[in-house]
């Protein structure tokens, strides 16, 4: 069982779940999730001889939630990872991320390759920096109602997502596609008849408790920095992500429809060790198919 504590990282207190001894492996969650999304991997990776640490990232769980939107830029998120590695007494770590956590993992490897022994992105592949701001691109491709654009106005998405937190998370995690989607995030989903097989009522209750305490603003503020992050990362235009890398994706993950592991993505990860397509798996990869994800991670770690 993981142990829980808070660590001080510069300006914030961060909650971490940790287990095991050995080389450091960080597990970074996505939206809307928490450290608990890695509950199936922590034991196995620790048993294989690793010091496994799964934080609640900035704005989530019982980690601090700074007020300013600009406190959630990619520099702040990568800075938290760098500070966490240092606070844990290490000089390097393998950084694994799912969804938004994958974005942070890829950027940590891009911006600070000397501290990344290896990087694993789950669901979201490495993304070359494009010629236009991301929110311009999503508006052009998917319309003003695309969820990432809908998230931009402070207070609007919070009201929708926070009205019934259990219903919000049940819709998001069940991920039953709405045949006639409406604007925003929840409009993408239809009401599920039951919870998905990978999610118990007890699991859902943990997430509901966490988001009842934290709210959604912290996580939404990550999206509100998408264009700012694009501006900040201009100096790394066309720069490669050089540490050993792995990409894992569910074959049914909707993210594949708007972020592709295509030739352009592959070109910026010259040390790509593999691509793992997980069959019969949607977006919540490490929760839906924990054995497949854990096996892929262990094989990657053994090869480092």
pLDDT above 90 (res 180): no
**pLDDT tens digits, 91-100:** 999 999 999 9
The mean pLDDT of 66-84, rounded to a whole number, is 98
Kindly report the pTM of this predicted structure: 0.98
**pLDDT tens digits, 99-133:** 999 999 999 999 999 999 999 999 999 999 999 99
For residue 39 the two structure tokens come to 């509950």
pLDDT > 70: percent of the chain: 100
- What pLDDT does residue 181 have? 85
Q: Write out the residue range of the structural domain in which residue 180 sits.
A: 3-302
The per-residue pLDDT of the chain, averaged, comes to 97
Place of tokens 């109602």: 145
Q: How many residues does the chain have?
A: 304
Measured CA to CA, the distance from residue 126 to residue 130 in angstroms comes to 12
Measured CA to CA, the distance from residue 268 to residue 251 in angstroms comes to 22
The mean pLDDT of 73-93, rounded to a whole number, is 98
pLDDT above 90 (res 182): no
Query: Which band of pLDDT confidence, cut at 50, 70 and 90, is reported for residue 183?
Result: confident
Query: Which band of pLDDT confidence, cut at 50, 70 and 90, is reported for residue 202?
Result: very high
The number of folded domains in the chain is: 1
SS3 labels along 89-121:
CCCCEEEEEECHHHHHHHHHHHHCHHHEEEEEE
Q: Of 3, 10, 9, which Cα lies nearest the Cα of 54?
A: 3
Looking at residue 253, which CATH number applies to its domain?
3.40.50.1820
Contact 86, 56 (CB under 8 A): no
Contact 269, 245 (CB under 8 A): yes
Contacts of 171 (CB under 8 A, 6+ apart): 186, 189, 191, 192
Which residue numbers are catalytic?
Answer: 99, 283
Per-position DSSP letters for 228-261, written without gaps between them:
HHHHHTGGGTT----S-EEEEEETT-GGGGTS--
- What pLDDT does residue 263 have? 95
């Amino acid at each position: 069982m993981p142990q829980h504590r808070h660590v001080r990282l510069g300006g914030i207190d961060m909650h971490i779940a940790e287990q095991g001894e050995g080389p450091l492996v960080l597990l970074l969650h996505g939206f809307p999730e928490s450290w608990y999304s890695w509950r199936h991997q922590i034991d196995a990776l620790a048993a294989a001889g690793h010091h496994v640490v799964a934080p609640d990232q900035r704005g989530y769980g019982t980690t601090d939630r700074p007020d300013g939107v600009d406190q959630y830029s990619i520099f702040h998120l990568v800075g938290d990872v760098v500070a966490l590695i240092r606070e844990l007494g290490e000089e390097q770590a393998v950084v694994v991320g799912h969804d938004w956590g994958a974005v942070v993992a890829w950027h940590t490897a891009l911006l600070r390759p000397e501290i990344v022994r290896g990087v694993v992105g789950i669901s979201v592949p490495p993304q070359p920096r494009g010629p236009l701001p991301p929110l311009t691109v999503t508006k052009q491709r998917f319309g003003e109602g695309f969820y990432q654009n809908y998230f931009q106005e402070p207070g609007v998405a919070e009201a929708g997502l926070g009205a019934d937190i259990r219903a919000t998370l049940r819709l998001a995690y069940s991920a039953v596609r709405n045949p006639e989607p409406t604007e925003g995030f929840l409009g993408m989903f239809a009401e599920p008849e039951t919870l998905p097989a990978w999610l118990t009522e007890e699991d859902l209750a943990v997430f509901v408790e966490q988001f009842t305490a934290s709210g959604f603003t912290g996580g939404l503020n990550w999206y509100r920095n998408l264009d700012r992050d694009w501006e900040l990362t201009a100096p790394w235009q066309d720069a490669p992500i050089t540490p050993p890398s792995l990409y894992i994706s569910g074959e049914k993950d909707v993210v594949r429809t708007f972020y592709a592991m295509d030739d352009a993505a592959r070109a910026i990860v010259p040390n790509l060790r593999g691509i793992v397509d997980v069959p019969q798996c949607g977006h919540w990869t490490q929760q839906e198919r924990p054995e497949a994800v854990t096996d892929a991670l262990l094989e990657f770690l053994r090869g480092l």
